[in-house]
Structure formats: structure tokens, C-alpha cells
Amino acid sequence: MTPEEEGSRAGPPERVRIRVEEQSFWVEKTLLVESSEYFRALFRSGMKESTQEEITFQAVECAAFLQVKPLAKYLIHSINSDNCILLYQAAAIFGLLDLFHCAALYIRDSYAELEEYLDCLSADLLAYVEALGALLPSAFVAVGAHTPTFEFLEDLSRTICYLDEETNTWRTLSCLPLSASTFLAGMATMDNKIYIVGGVYGASKQVVESSFCYDADANAWSDESPSPHQLRYDVRLVGHEGYLYAIGGEYEKISLKSVERYDVASSTWTFVSDLPQPSAAAPCAQAMGQIFVCLWKPLDTTVIYEYETQRDAWLPITELKRHQSYGHCMVAHRDNLYVMRNGPSDDFLRCVIDCFNLTSRQWTALPGQFLNSKGALFTAVIRGDTIYTVNKMLTLLYSVEEETWRFKKERAGFPRSGSLQTFLLRLPRRDHDVAT
């Protein structure tokens, strides 16, 4: 074939835009070819569709018929209170088992809010959701700052506790291993397990070199795991699709920009792309199946980066300029990232909230401001459409509504002083202990 003939047979572009109902996203063609026999045949067929820049499908039918795993994963990450029942029914029809189970768990977690709408489910689908009653809805779990101490000393800070919402009491779930530290440690949950990396002990901030894992299903701690290659504390730990990411942190009072990834299956750490700048305790959140990190720069500028796992790259997506005194954190709900910070100067006790929508790429300042000293929003986690925040005095629950957080309930405060880390865990029905 001559060069001219080769040029006349220019192939389709490297990427194609897939439109699924009202959403669209770019996908590498090589990934589609590897994942789907349909696309493999389409792109080799020579039909006009093989060279189009955009292809339109219906969502669940597309994921089932084309057997495209990325699209099925996209649907799982898109489950919310508006579509969970519809996706649950559609997944049952088309045999998408992972989506089916995840939608059922979402309904189970939000059963009280969704109960009046569940009469549209068939008897067998409703029975499956109710069979999940053997599991409690995801529980709000809190861990205080603990450093290793002598074995014979009873240290209440060495406990992991959960909020029993039926009795409005905090109960002990488990005790930390004697050599584990949660002070300046990275902690994350994944696959219903709590992972602890780093942490310090002693006046000189010696780093704990082992990592730890608590399995909520087995109610047991596993053997100590290896630490990252770079010892670090004040590190942010994120669990994502079978990997733990140790992001930034400090070592010997020097901020780090290195990032390491732990493969849970092989128990190995490897370095991935560095952060754009050194950062300790960088606020992180996961939304729509992606990892986002919030980095602060001088002149009151916050930049949010997305970690692109396929490209192993940190990509800037937006920045925000706001005056603040200290501290900020980030949580995600649907396709929204909420950045919370202390107000400036004399307003430092107030928690100011800004929302960035990943779809519209627009910032919105929430109309309400919540006192950090009361609401403790820097420990926020979200279950369904409910936000949990806690301090020693009380636990506050908010409902996420359009561009606002509405106060919902008040529960008992966590009975410990000091900083907290909070999570959600799905606990089997059993008595862990008496109330804390």
C-alpha cells in the first residue's frame, strides 16, 4: 500500500464521546475494543458509525448489551436517591449483578427515606432488600487520636466506636492494636475494612512503621502490613478500587509531595505521580468514581485536582479564592464537591461552605453558615443524602437539598476529647459491647 493510500484510510479518532441519556464522557477507543466485542466489531466494520466522534446509547441497556465494564462502573458510581429504585429494577432485568447489589445496599441505607416509594418493587426485589436487614445500615464510626501506651494501662482513646442510632449511644466496635497510632495517621475505609497507615508516637514524633487493617465483617484485626517506602505522618489515605493511596504527609517536619499506592491483593507499595506541591493532611474526596484532592496555596487560593488513574496524573480542574484563617476539608455528594473552611479573622469559628459541581464546572456559595464549634463540620461524612458531623458535645445530621444543607436531627456527641476521624462501616447484627 502506498503512503497516499495509507493516508486515505485514516482511521477513527483515538477517543470517542459516549452519550448515555443526558450524560456524555470521552472514552479511549482502545479501552472499548478491549472491553466489548460490540465495539471491537463496530470499529473494524468500516461503517459510518465507526468514524463518528459521538455514539449515543441508553444507560443500563448499553452496559448490559455491550458488556462494557466502564459503563457499568459509571452507573454504580451514579447511584443516588433519585435513581436507585429505577437502577435496581433495570439491573435485575438485564443481569448487571454488581449494579443490582449496590443499588440494593443504597436502598437499604436509605430505607426510612425511601420506604413510601418501594411499593413499585416486585415481591422478590423487595425481599432481597429486606434480606439485607441482616446487615445494619452503614454505621457512623469515629476514632479519636491515640498514641501507643503501656499494655497494662486502660486507654479509652484506643477504641473505635460507632453510633447506635436506635439507642442514641456510642458503642465500642473494637480496640486498636497496642502498637497502632491514630495520631497524625492516615485512615481510610475500603471493602468494609478500616486501614491505618503512619501515625506517630513519642515526643519526637517517631513514625509507626507498620500498617493495620480492621475487618468489620470478621470483627478482627489482620496481621501487621508493610509501611510505605517513604515513612510519613499527617498523611491522607484514600481507598479506591482495590488500592490505598498514601497522599503527601510529613516526615521529620518536612512536607511531602510524593504519593504511594498500596495493592491490597499483592501487599505491595509503589510510587505514583507526585502531588503538584508538598502537602500534609490534604483534603480528599471521591465523587463519580474519581479521586479529588484540595490543595491550598498562598493568597487564600484553593486548587482542586483530579487524579486520573489511567494516566497516573494530577489534573487541575478548578480554583477558588476565599479568605480563611486556618483549616479546610472536602466531602462529596453526587457530582458535587463541598469545600469547608474556617472564616477569616474574627470569624474563624464559623464554617464557610462552597460547592463545586463537576458537571457544570460552577462554584456556588451555600447560603447557610454553620458554627464549627457546634457542628464540627470538619469531620463530615455523607450516607445517602444525609450528612453526619460530630464533636464531643453532639452529633448533627443534615439533609442535602438543592444548594443547601438543612438541619435534620441531633444525636449524642462522641465521648472523647481531641481530634477525630470518621467513616461509614456496614456492621453485621451482633452485640459488640455495652454502650461507651
Per-residue pLDDT reduced to its tens digit, 12-36: 457 888 776 676 778 788 877 777 7
Q: Which residue segment(s) compose the domain that 410 sits in?
A: 139-425
The candidate with the shortest Cα–Cα distance to 104, out of 218, 191, 121, is 121
Q: Are 147 and 105 contained in the same domain?
A: no
User: Of 11 and 324, which is predicted with more confidence?
Assistant: 324
- Residue found by looking up cell 457544570 in the block: 360
- Boundary of a domain, candidates 101, 134, 167: 134
Per-residue pLDDT reduced to its tens digit, 199-240: 998 878 899 999 999 999 999 999 778 899 999 999 999 999
Q: Which residues have C-beta within 8 Å of that of residue 25, sequence separation ≥ 6?
A: 17, 18, 74
Q: Please count the CA atoms within 13 angstroms of the CA of 102 that sit on its side-chain side.
A: 18
In a domain, 327, yes or no: yes
Q: Are 343 and 398 contained in the same domain?
A: yes
For position 70, which CATH number holds? Answer: 3.30.710
Phi, psi of 271 (to 5 degrees): -80, 140
Q: Is the pLDDT of residue 330 over 80?
A: yes
In a domain, 287, yes or no: yes
pTM to 2 decimal places: 0.84
**Mean pLDDT score across all residues of the chain:** 85
| Contact predicate 241/282, CB 8 Å | no
Q: Are 103 and 190 contained in the same domain?
A: no
Q: Are 79 and 208 contained in the same domain?
A: no
Q: Is the pLDDT of residue 11 over 50?
A: no
Q: Are 113 and 256 contained in the same domain?
A: no
Q: Are 279 and 264 contained in the same domain?
A: yes
Q: For the chain, how many structural domains are there in total? A: 2
Q: Are 306 and 351 contained in the same domain?
A: yes
For position 249, which CATH number holds? Answer: 2.120.10.80
Q: Are 184 and 316 contained in the same domain?
A: yes
Q: Are 247 and 320 contained in the same domain?
A: yes
* CA–CA dist 320, 111 (Å, integer): 37
- Boundary of a domain, candidates 111, 134, 157: 134
> Stretch 353-366: mean pLDDT, rounded?
93
Q: Are 119 and 144 contained in the same domain?
A: no
Instruction: Tell me how many degrees the CA angle 43-44-49 measures, rounded to the nearest 5.
Output: 40
- Residue 348: per-residue pLDDT: 59
- Boundary of a domain, candidates 90, 107, 134: 134
